[in-house]
Amino acid sequence: MAKDNSNNDKTKSRSAVASWSAYNYQGKVGIYVALHEIQELLSSSNDASLDLEKFYVEYESPEGEDFDIKKDSKTLSRHQVKATQGKTLCSYRTVIDKDSSFNITGVDEDKCYLHVSENVEGWGLSEEQYKSKYPRRTWVANLKKIRLYPYDDNREYCPIKEIKGKCSQLIKKIFNKLNPESHGHLQSEEAEDRFWRILENLDGEITKAHKNMSKQGGKRTCPTICFQEIKDIINGEDEISTNRDYARNCRRLKDKFICSCEQAVDDFIRDNKSEGGAENLYQDTRRKFLNICNEIIRKPNGDFMDLIYNFSFRFREDRTKIDFDEISVEKIITEYIMKTALDKLITEKFLCDELKKEKYILS
């Protein structure tokens, strides 16, 4: 079991509950790992009725990282997520070097993982091998022995746009395991519907944790989702709704919305970032922008649709019969929300001098 007491104070104070939602990359990656673990547990036990109440994903624990996989109070694995950090080892210095904030205390050494959205070149190479292959780059020793998470396609990264599909595929496999005598397999749309319902349940837990933290004067509560809850959703313990198609489409649009937000802000930072600029400034800008976007998708479905309706002239009057495929979410983000959100940050004088210094352009 790994020991590291160097950053307990830092981990106790860290909290990002208010700045993300289940629809962000971090939330989806946590669900992917949970789905993978559920599939492994069902396969090893060969018992579809296996009780999974003791297993759960815990996000943003004071002692943990972005999320932990737990059984009762024991941490089975610990995970940090970096959606858009870069392809070089140096980009992940804060995760792997001697001053890393990654808390490995209480976790088996080979169960600490980093999740990335693009291939990190040279991970695992010795200093000699790395400098031979990348002579102009800086090698960073992986002193905490953090592992890149291996996905089911033999890659150690998962692009942002692919994580939903990977989750849906696992949902199909789990459903088939739970229903071996079923005459039909779960269709892609049904698998996605269950995926969005899992995200919606997780987002409810995140919102609850944020509200509790506000009420209790900053005292932390961690969003969790139990494996049994995920299993029940996959197995068709469906919600009763008079308008399931509308609810499904709202979830689908929220997912497209937040993916576009993440892509838009990353493109903005990449295009406007001066060479050798202040990395913390850009990451803080990203976090504050996504804060605004997450406030939007946490609105009830009707309020969310009203907001989207005002953004796009493509909507018809009967919003329950919208052709969601016709909505250009990217256009909405880049032409309206992006400028509005970043203008709001400027208006609120968020790092105004620093923004000017780093030559941010909002035209």
Q: What is the pLDDT, as a whole number, of residue 345?
A: 57
Q: In terms of domains, do 185 and 271 share one?
A: no
**Whole-angstrom distance between the N-terminal and C-terminal Cα of the chain?**
52
pLDDT in tens, the chain (363 residues): 554 544 444 444 444 444 567 778 889 999 999 999 999 999 888 776 788 999 999 998 888 899 999 999 999 999 999 876 678 888 888 888 878 889 999 999 899 999 999 999 999 999 999 999 999 999 999 988 999 999 988 899 999 889 999 999 999 999 988 887 765 678 888 888 899 889 888 888 887 877 776 555 555 678 999 999 999 999 875 554 546 667 777 877 888 888 878 877 777 766 665 544 555 666 677 777 788 788 888 788 777 877 776 665 444 455 555 555 556 666 666 666 666 666 665 554 444 444 444 443 333
Q: What is the pLDDT, as a whole number, of residue 133?
A: 94
Q: In terms of domains, do 139 and 202 share one?
A: yes
Q: What is the pLDDT, as a whole number, of residue 6?
A: 45
Three-class DSSP labels, 182-226: CCCCCCHHHHHHHHHHHHHHHHHHHHHHHHHHHHCCCCCCCCEEE
Q: What is the pLDDT, as a whole number, of residue 302?
A: 77
Q: In terms of domains, do 219 and 254 share one?
A: no
User: Where is the domain boundary, 207, 234, 261?
Assistant: 234
Neighbours of 201 (CB within 10 A): 16
Q: In terms of domains, do 15 and 153 share one?
A: yes
Alpha helices in the chain (DSSP H): 8-13, 25-45, 93-96, 127-133, 163-178, 188-215, 227-234, 244-272, 279-297, 301-311, 329-332, 338-347, 352-357
Residue 84 domain flag: yes
User: Where is the domain boundary, 234, 266, 301?
Assistant: 234
Q: In terms of domains, do 224 and 251 share one?
A: no
Domain that holds residue 275: 244-357
Alpha-carbon dihedral sign for residues 153, 109, 23, 7: negative
Residue 239 domain flag: no
Q: In terms of domains, do 87 and 172 share one?
A: yes
Task: Assign 230 to helix, strand or coil.
Answer: helix
**Cα 191 versus chain centre, distance:** 19
Dist. CA 166–CA 192, nearest whole Å: 10
Q: What is the pLDDT, as a whole number, of residue 358?
A: 43
Give φ, ψ of 75 to 5 degrees: -85, 120
User: Where is the domain boundary, 185, 212, 234?
Assistant: 234
Q: In terms of domains, do 310 and 180 share one?
A: no
Residue 34 domain flag: yes
Q: In terms of domains, do 340 and 307 share one?
A: yes
Largest CA distance in the chain: 64
Alpha-carbon dihedral sign for residues 321, 324, 326, 328: positive
Exposed, middle or buried by CB within 10 Å (0-12, 13-18, 19+), for 14? middle
Query: To which residue do tokens 């199909």 refer?
Result: 172
Residue 2 domain flag: no
Domain count, the chain: 2
Q: In terms of domains, do 267 and 335 share one?
A: yes
Residue 47 domain flag: yes
- Distances in whole angstroms, Cα of residue 40 to Cα of each of 36, 186, 233: 6, 19, 18
Q: In terms of domains, do 41 and 92 share one?
A: yes
